[in-house]
A = this chain, B = another copy of it.
Amino acid sequence: MPVGTHGVVRGISMDEVAAAGGQMVLANAYHLYLRPGDMMVRALGGLHAFTRWNGPMLTDSGGFQVFSLSKLRTVSEDGVEFQSHIDGSTHQYTPESVMRIERNLGADVMMQLDELIQGRSDISAARSAMERSLRWLQRCKVEFDRISHEGRAPIPDFTVPADAPALACDDAAPEQALFPIVQGGTHATLRKASMTGILESGDWAGVAIGGLSVGETKSDTYAMLEVCDPILPRNVPRYLMGVGFPDDLVEGVQRGIDLFDCVAPTRMGRDGTAFTPDGKMQIRQSSYRTDRRPLVEGCDCPCCTHYDRAYLRHLFVSEEMLGKRLLALHNVSFLIGVMTSAREALRGGTFDSWSGAWLARYRGGE
């Protein structure tokens, strides 16, 4: 899932995401709650209408942003109080309020509120956060079930210019799904306990694995995925949150993951770094000054079919926004292409040989 933090995949249009083969987009409840506000998004027709993304969408609960962006936060059993990174104003997230926010936003998949810890936390901190996340999941589910059946809250009375057309707002309850999040740090026993708690408490349309890719080693990440793989149900999608780079996707799929999200493709692209089958390349390098080849030969994205490396380098050296836009689009297209190839290899029964060759080539070039 390309990440559209503010309801936009940074630098590229939803049409371009769709043309690149993107099937699902993530948006961020924390950012949209603060700006323009979840009730505002709802009044503007919900996230799909607001952002012009016609496919499936998922909203992250905002828990991760509260822990990573806000300067002051206080976590209690009730929820988390935090200060906005924009204006310092104080806000309260509870499992219940997050469900209402995500319902207002109207994405197809809502994530539970969970408690996050550092990647290398000791087992007692990890257990405490995992257990609280399970209790918060129960509260999320109760509120989710309540508001799914109750219909939506009334639309607030926005001050609308006299000559603006009436706001359309569909009050029929949309089909939304709630995903639980497996926590437990890098401790296999805690991950197992988290999954037991989750699977005993409901039939879920999908399950996420959180708290990885937050500072722990790659081998710890893979070990945790291997703990989860045999336990999680095989008939619902498994979503590895906040991951990742091209090789992370291949390693994740190898361990049973279906869905990923990461800001890396757009963030790296803005910085002039492109994903290629031979590892990352930094287009500002002077060796590309006279290089008339496409960024990635054989890539069918608009960046690679229209432009050469010499011009793309020139755009970055000249600080032209088109460069950021084109490399972001290439990187998003590249990750979608990796997943497409992985699916084909899985269907064809050739995943192991495909992934081995793919990883060897990618890492050989790094």
Contact = CB atoms under 8 A, between A and B. Distances in A.
Which secondary structure dominates chain A's binding surface? loop
Nearest to A166: B292
B321 A324 contact: yes
A325 B40 CA distance: 24
A165 interface: yes
Contacts of A318: 6, 8, 31, 35
A314 interface: yes
Nearest to A11: B321
Interface residues of A, number: 46
Contact of A291 (B50, B161, B290, B310): B161
Nearest to A311: B50
A292 B40 CA distance: 12
Contacts of A311: 7, 44, 50-52
A307 interface: yes
A160 to B, nearest CB: 5
A15 interface: yes
A361 interface: no
Given A307-B52, A311-B50, A314-B35, A320 B10 contact: yes
A339 interface: no
Given A311-B51, A325-B325, A320 B6 contact: yes
A6 B318 CA distance: 7
A260 B6 CA distance: 37
Given A44-B311, A306-B15, A314-B36, A322 B8 contact: yes
B321 A290 contact: no
B321 A36 contact: no
Nearest to A7: B314
A44 B168 CA distance: 52
A167 B292 contact: yes
7 contacts: A35-B317, A35-B318, A36-B289, A40-B289, A51-B311, A160-B290, A165-B292
Q: Which 9 A-B pairs have the closest CB atoms?
A: A6-B318, A11-B321, A160-B290, A158-B290, A164-B291, A8-B320, A8-B322, A36-B314, A161-B287
